[in-house]
Structure 1
């Protein structure tokens, strides 16, 4: 399949037509220092810094009708209260707090989760009564051990992999399957928490090389912040505030609901992008540099006229299907969360929490008490990509299965209970799931085997930085948390246009 995709891209390049300025009116030609593809966490941050710190002109192309990427906030129409269901909080790391202050966003410590989690069999939705949650003292010991090991690699993993070694110089532990690493350092007790935070290991974590867990998942800075209660959120209760304030500063340079349909890129002549805009018009962006913040896959970037070097790297990406949303249901009590896991985890085989299952479904009580809302997160294995309707149907079926099994009957208060054995509420009505908001957060990830990492994959990936006047940032180039992505973006900007920085 990989060779087929590369061949298709090569054929597309042969058929590529030269972009002519004569095909565009003067008002449809945009000349800038830097073009930015994507306005999520990294793209928006880069746009602010390039304009305000580097005094460079920018043009941002965003496919959605708003900026913010995976930051999603629902506002209840009656109470006007915001509820975040995408990005929930931020690590106190790198430029994060200064960035919030710059945008005029007041912050407070992230609220502590004081609810109860029910662990249920992903097949039957029945309580795993023989599952033993790891003792908190044991979890702390595992976190400390994990943190000590991850700290050893800060110079090659944080905030990105510019200094990552090659071949036999790669630390052997980074190539170990996570299961072996976990056993070696006694950190099994930490995995349930790690999985909730970083979402690593749907389908099984035992065979994943450690690099993908510590490097792209949860590294040392996040562990430090976790131990120091360093998570924070906007005081307003809305993560959307960050992007609303950012958009007010860059909106003249942002093309929303737009996408690149063709491109020319060259180290000497810069880049030309033909962009299809929201009103179905085409504009030509001419820029000295291109900063790509979209997930780097063949499908996402094929309009950029990828060459063989780029295609050979990006073809290695693996799909990561994720859906998030907010749902209202009476089938689960307030302050309860439900986690669907493999029965293999019982009684204490924590690394088997998602072993051999294709669905990772978490339902978490959230928002103001009176709204009876639950955040839902559904991630599936790469071979099981669901449409929005299929994802909603699966979530609904699992909630109904939970009700039919009577799993939470013993904890439900009388006013929202339901009869044992029936997918019904206390008054006899059928259990329903009303989705207030729903969105795909599907992306891509790296899952190459250890021998390909050793053969130079990270070097090949980073060799693309600056190639054909194109630079990259985002969660596939570093640890996948906003604060780390912002810190990594700083290192990209320093290399891309550092000499132009304002005094």
Structure 2
């Protein structure tokens, strides 16, 4: 599920776009993803076909396990969303845009014969505007964050385990529990804030978040990759890997499918009743891998026990939205970044736009929007259009700004309170692995980063397949 857009260190002041997660481009493969069996018996049922779920399903097949994937949307890929312009046929990734340059990433793409390349970000002119009023903040400068990021890296080095999940020590280090604004003040890291905010899009108000979550979203691996470069697909079509995974899974990927009921077994087979476009089906599986956000309103039909309910109900979440705009009146080579005129560190007030930036297709611009809480899509779209219309120095066209495509990545970051973290929330959460024949992966168990989530999932596979 992560990464978001990141840039080289010399471009860091132009903005680090959080590779928001997105969705895979829809492929019309209905003829092969409609299981004909009334009872589907598999070794593992994977619930959720996003980045983690798709990776797990393919890897489980590779090691000899039979799988079925249950996905409520009409495509695989989760937050990986690619827009295809009907005029130029060019593609714009508005969800996951880059990956860490790791063997696990290269191997997964190589398996599907998809070429990768180092990602390059072309610099653009930057305007700083307070989107609330449309006022140009001409005197603003994000400054040079290099020295401050070095100091931040020194703090990150104290917690190497954060790169592998939430396996926190007991007691949890006090600094990880501090609101990030207090942590910044304690270690004089003020100059890092604009950069981290631009990178950690989707976290809501980062100054209020426990430092734990900010560090996990912007950690040592990210600082290293900023210097050494990230990977993206050579075709600039990040959804292709999920299209190919869907083609391989065939009728083992149940799209547009919802769970009606579950009856999990400690031994033997668990039962999952689902509704598919072809009617109701029963899945019988030895193991279940849950790869969806574990919020109570996302788990209808699950036979949750008291422990699961007590843990999952503690999750709150932020919201993140991405899209492609046309008719903005903004120059194709200009990024318009949201800045708060009279706010702490000049951070923009959320809900609001993070930035509007060039795409690879003239006349189409990327937009990123965040909120501390979930909003209706129509409310977000309306706010974005109104914000664009307030911008200064905009070339007014006959047409009003409109969306070529829009995607909600909500719920985005799942978080709990500092007091819950301190009292051992993640110890209890991780202790659920394997209970009632159920295993868990996804961003709630690590962070919004596809590369890190694939590594986390890979380490989980031996537990799932052990006899």
Query: TM-score when scaled to structure 1?
Result: 0.82
1:386 aligns with 2:375: yes
Work out the CA distance in 1 between the residues paired with 2:174 and 2:95: 35
Match of 2:3 in 1: none
Q: Structure 2 stretches of 5 or more lacking a match?
A: 1-34
Name the SS of the counterpart of 1:27 in structure 2: coil
Counterpart position of 1:299: 297
- What are the Cα deviations for residues 343-379 of structure 1, in whole angstroms up to 9, with x where unaligned? 234xxx53x514x54324421111223xx11111222
CA distance in 1, matches of 2:211, 2:289: 29
The answer for the alignment partner of 1:484 in structure 2 is 452
CA contact (8 A) 1:94 1:484 kept: no
Q: Give the alignment of 1:115-194 within 5 angstroms.
A: 115-135=124-144, 139-154=145-160, 156-161=161-166, 163-166=167-170, 169-194=171-196
Three-state SS of the structure 1 residue aligned to 2:64 is coil
Distance 1:132 1:379 in 2: 22
Distance of 1:353 and 1:145 partners within structure 2: 21
Q: CA deviation at 1:200?
A: 5.5
8 Å CA contact 2:201, 2:320 repeated in 1: no
Which residue is 1:29 aligned to?
A: 39
Map of 1:126-275 to 2, 5 A cutoff?
126-135=135-144, 139-154=145-160, 156-161=161-166, 163-166=167-170, 169-199=171-201, 201-202=203-204, 204-215=205-216, 217-229=217-229, 231-275=230-274
Match of 1:80 in 2: 89
Verify the 8 A CA contact 1:326 1:376 in the aligned structure 2: yes
User: CA distance change for structure 1 residues 243 and 192 in 2, over 3 Å: closer, same or farther?
Assistant: same
Moved over 4 A (4+): none
Q: C-alpha displacement at 1:183, in angstroms?
A: 2.6
SS at match of 2:453: helix
Aligned residue among 54, 57, 76 for 1:44: 54
Between 466-475 and 239-248, report the one with greater CA deviation: 239-248
* C-alpha distance in 1 between matches for 2:113 and 2:138: 48
| Bigger Rg over Cα | 1
Any idea what the Cα deviations from partners look like across 1:369-410, whole Å, max 9, x if unmatched?
Answer: 3xx11111222121xx332222221111111111xxxx235x
1:88-116 CA-partner distances (Å, limit 9, x unpaired): 11122461122111221101111224012
Partner residue in 2 for 1:282? 280
> Do the aligned residues in 2 keep the contact of 1:29 with 1:283 (CA within 8 Å)?
yes
Taking the aligned partners of 1:308 and 1:315, their CA distance within structure 2 comes to 11
Which whole-Å CA distance do the structure 2 matches of 1:360 and 1:94 have between them? 35
User: Of 303, 310, 313, which residue of structure 1 is paired with 2:311?
Assistant: 313
Question: In the TM superposition, what is the alpha-carbon distance from 1:208 to its structure 2 partner?
Answer: 2.0
Structure with the larger helix share: 1
Q: How many residue pairs end up in the alignment?
A: 433
What are the Cα deviations for residues 125-156 of structure 1, in whole angstroms up to 9, with x where unaligned?
11112322212xxx1222222222212211x3
Residue equivalent to 2:324: 326
Greater displacement, 116-125 / 105-114 = 116-125
Tell me, in whole angstroms, the C-alpha distance in 2 between the residues paired with 1:153 and 1:101.
32
Output the CA distance in 1 between the equivalents of 2:139 and 2:240.
43
* 3-state DSSP of counterpart to 1:443: coil
* TM-score, scaled to structure 2: 0.88
Cα drift, residue 81 of structure 1:
1.5
- Residues 306-344 of structure 1 show CA distances to partners (whole Å, capped at 9, x for unaligned) of 111001011011132222111112411112122223223
Looking at structure 1, the residues matched to 139 and 385 of structure 2 have their Cα atoms a distance apart, in angstroms, of 26
For the residues of structure 1 that align with 2:193 and 2:462, how far apart are their CA atoms?
A: 36
Q: Contact (CA 8 Å) 1:50, 1:56: kept in 2 or not?
A: yes
Contact 2:320 2:412 in 1 (8 A): no
Deviations 1:419-458 (A, max 9, x none): xxxxx43xxx3x5112111121111434333222111111
Unmatched segments (≥5 aa) in structure 1: 1-24, 410-416, 418-423
Paired residue for 1:9? none
